[in-house]
Amino acid sequence: MQTSSGRGETEAGMQPSWLPPRLLSQSIPKPRFDEAQRAWGLSIAVYLFLGGVGAGAFAIAIVLGWAGIALGPLPRVLPGGVEIDLSALLLFWGPLLVAGDAALLLLHLGRNKHLFVTAGRKPRTAWLSRGFAILICFICTGGLLLLLAALAPGWLSGSPAAWRFLEVAGLLAALATATYTGMLLHSMRQIPAWHTALLPPLFVVSALATGALALALTVWIAHSVGVEAAGAGRLLDATTVAAVALLTIEAVLVTAYVRAVRRAGRSGERSVLLLLGGTWRAPFWLGVIGLGIISPAVLLVAAPAVTSPAVALAAVSGLAGGFVLRLSVLGIGIKDSPPLLSLSTWRAEAVRWPLGGSPGLSPEARAQ
Amino acid sequence: MNCRVLIVDDEKCTGCQLCLVACAARHEAGLNADRARIDVCRTADDSHAPLICNHCEAPSCARACPTGACRVDPAGGRVIIDDRVCIGCRTCVVACPFQHARFDKVLGVTVKCDFCDGAPVCVEACEAQAIHYVYAEEAGAGRRREVGLRRLRPSLKTIDSREP
């Protein structure tokens, strides 16, 4: 430790007595360069999860509809005398969830007064801006499809081209929303656990899997409360088969993702250590693997019938696992920080390095 | 760009945190050092060093900011955050590899060192004269930034980093 020079010869480590007591008692922390980021936590995990579930459920409902698997009409009359088709609500609720999710995000923001004016300003470089546009597209196209399917099914059946256009636009917007949830994290180049090519596909597959499970849960709940729609059994069958297939792909992707992050330098290795054996080991093994993949897959395969409670249990378990996946990925985000060299080391190294040479420490500097 | 930067001589820093107090006072945060826009940390060998924004030439924080609140000031080369436009999404906090930007809960926006509009009070406050406000070329800071940014490119993984 050296004695400082300057106006007041202050012994190193001593603080002037006139400093506020709170500051004097405050211990100086070590730099947090090896800790995971904390700026994005629970609220962003909820945002990514609900966005994925809403988009996934909508996409699965559209694709199953194209395969001829859908619910029969369920006409109901609302208290105001408005007649709606309840089956549209049971199938296409995704945009409503995403709209609610976007509203929840406002709670995360420090200020949201100028949000709608400013948030989409930089789509060229910022994925949050792109996401703002993608979410609006999905909420509008999906919401329009939901409205028309629920309130004017007759008009849609008379215009198959318009219906198909809305379906395709909604599906593309839903897939873009699911992809955006992964790309938002992937765009952070200095966090190896996020900036891996496998993260967006993992989030998309997880979004589709949790979406299929959520759709199955919706139909199961409707069935269990006595809302009987034609084709409910077939739809439950198809969603459970889709969910098992997607969960299998997700298991492969999770394994590949962990291996890819482990190879992504020192911060990546530390992220994997946190995930597999550190702070996040319980959420990862119990939540992501146990609740999110194994438990729903086993329950869905072993369920005696598609209307049995095992299907609902599998859906709830899979949804919980999907949420923990996002939370875990956020929690292991350790930055790949540039080296912090002292000024004296820097001066010595700056002299030694030829232009374009390796910026690593010289053997002499390492030995010091 | 040969703009002015803050350079810290960690051998002179005593860890007195006067720079934090001055910074907090300058930015209307009273004497609450937690709300200062710079930080003082303890290094591996138990000396101290203020951590100050590097004002990168191609800043990750500005690239990730969705609103354009965080941007490079063309006049002075500083990276600034316009608190009238910032929505407090904390994307710049996550994006900064040096962990400099921080979220101010009271203001509801992200804040960072702005060189006090050209007259940094931390330089004046530092009794040990450990902080200097100099031209980047003189201090080799341009090269320092360059190395820091190269570290982010996957093709250059040879940079050594010391254990904290």
pLDDT digits (tens, 9 = 90+) for A74-113: 888 888 888 899 999 999 999 999 999 998 888 888 887 7
Flag residues of chain A having pLDDT under 50: 1-13, 18-22, 24-25, 346, 349-368
pLDDT of A342 reads: 52
Q: What is the pTM of this model?
A: 0.84
Q: What is the rounded distance in angstroms from the CA atom of residue A36 to the CA atom of residue A279? A: 11
**Residues comprising chain A, all counted:** 368
pLDDT of A162 reads: 87
Q: What is the rounded distance in angstroms from the CA atom of residue A169 to the CA atom of residue A163? A: 10
Across the interface, of A40, A343, A359, the residue whose CB is closest to B7 is A343
Q: What is the rounded distance in angstroms from the CA atom of residue A180 to the CA atom of residue A170? A: 15
Domains of chain A: 42-331 (1.20.1630.10)
Residue B61 lies in a domain: yes
Interface contact A337-B98, CB threshold 8 A: yes
Looking at the complex, report in whole angstroms how far the Cα of residue B67 sits from the nearest Cα belonging to chain A: 5
| Token pair listed for A91 | 């199938």
* Cα within 13 Å of Cα(B63), Cβ side: 16
Residue B72 lies in a domain: yes
Domain count, chain B: 1
pLDDT of A352 reads: 42
Q: Which helix (H) or strand (E) holds A325?
A: helix A309-331
**Using an 8 Å Cβ cutoff, are B51 and B75 in contact?**
no
**Using an 8 Å Cβ cutoff, are A86 and A76 in contact?**
yes
Chain B residue whose CA is closest to A19? B18
pLDDT of B12 reads: 82
pLDDT of A27 reads: 61
**Using an 8 Å Cβ cutoff, are A352 and B151 in contact?**
no
Across the interface, of B41, B90, B107, the residue whose CB is closest to A28 is B41
Q: What phi, psi does B18 have (nearest 5°)? A: -60, -35
Interface contact B42-A28, CB threshold 8 A: yes
Closest CA to B148 of B51, B56, B62: B56
**Residue numbers of the domain that contains B142:** 4-150
Chain B residue numbers with beta carbons less than 8 Å from the beta carbon of A190 are 60, 95, 97, 152
Interface contact B12-A4, CB threshold 8 A: yes
Give how far Cα A186 sits from Cα of A194, A203, A315, Å: 5, 11, 27
Q: What is the rounded distance in angstroms from the CA atom of residue B143 to the CA atom of residue B147? A: 6
For chain A, give the percent of residues with pLDDT over 70: 82
What confidence tens digit (pLDDT) does each residue in A127-148 have? 999 999 999 999 999 999 999 9
Average pLDDT over residues B134-152: 56
Cβ neighbours, 10 Å, residue A244? 18
pLDDT of B56 reads: 81
Cβ neighbours, 10 Å, residue B25? 16
Helical spans, DSSP H, in A263-308:
265-277, 281-282, 295-302
Q: What CATH number did the domain enclosing B135 receive?
A: 3.30.70.20
Looking at the complex, report in whole angstroms how far the Cα of residue A139 sits from the nearest Cα belonging to chain B: 20
pLDDT reading at B43 higher than 90: no
Average pLDDT over residues B57-72: 91
pLDDT of A11 reads: 43
pLDDT of A129 reads: 93
pLDDT of A358 reads: 36
Average pLDDT over residues B54-81: 88
Q: What is the rounded distance in angstroms from the CA atom of residue B23 to the CA atom of residue B14? A: 17
Across the interface, of A111, A340, A350, the residue whose CB is closest to B88 is A111
Chain A residue whose CA is closest to B154? A264
